[in-house]
Amino acid sequence: MVNILKQRRKRLRTRKETLLKKLHKIAILCDVDVAFFLRVRETGRIITFNSLDVESWPPSRGEMKCVYPIPQNFLPQDIEAKFGKIS
């Protein structure tokens, strides 16, 4: 049981680091602003990444509703429909 928890935490740490590297890279190479939020269900810990160091970024949901074109919001089922289920 303890070994499984250690493996899960190590996997989370590795994938989190990979995601952060990719987010930083896409922000630089594609000239886009990135905001990323990750909440660990087990602990409730929140991890964020913002490609801009300003208080106005990321915008709130209310602010995003006033933007055109309308922002795309993806849910897990949208990703699974496009790329298939993760096994």
pLDDT tier for residue 74 given thresholds of 50, 70 and 90: confident
* Domain tally, the chain: 1
Measured CA to CA, the distance from residue 36 to residue 34 in angstroms comes to 7
What is the extent of the structural domain holding 36? 2-83
- Tell me: the pLDDT tens digits for 35-61? 999 999 888 999 999 998 888 888 888
Residue 83 Ramachandran class (φ > 0 left, ψ -120 to 50 alpha, else beta): alpha
- Per cent of the chain over pLDDT 70 is 99
For the chain, the C-alpha Rg in angstroms (whole number) is 16
Q: Which residues contact 56 (CB under 8 A, 6 or more apart)?
A: none
**pLDDT tens per residue, range 11-41:** 999 999 999 999 999 999 999 999 999 999 8
* Domain CATH number, residue 20: 3.40.1810.10
Which pLDDT belongs to residue 79? 86
Nearest-angstrom CA–CA distance, 34 and 27: 6
The structure's pTM equals: 0.74
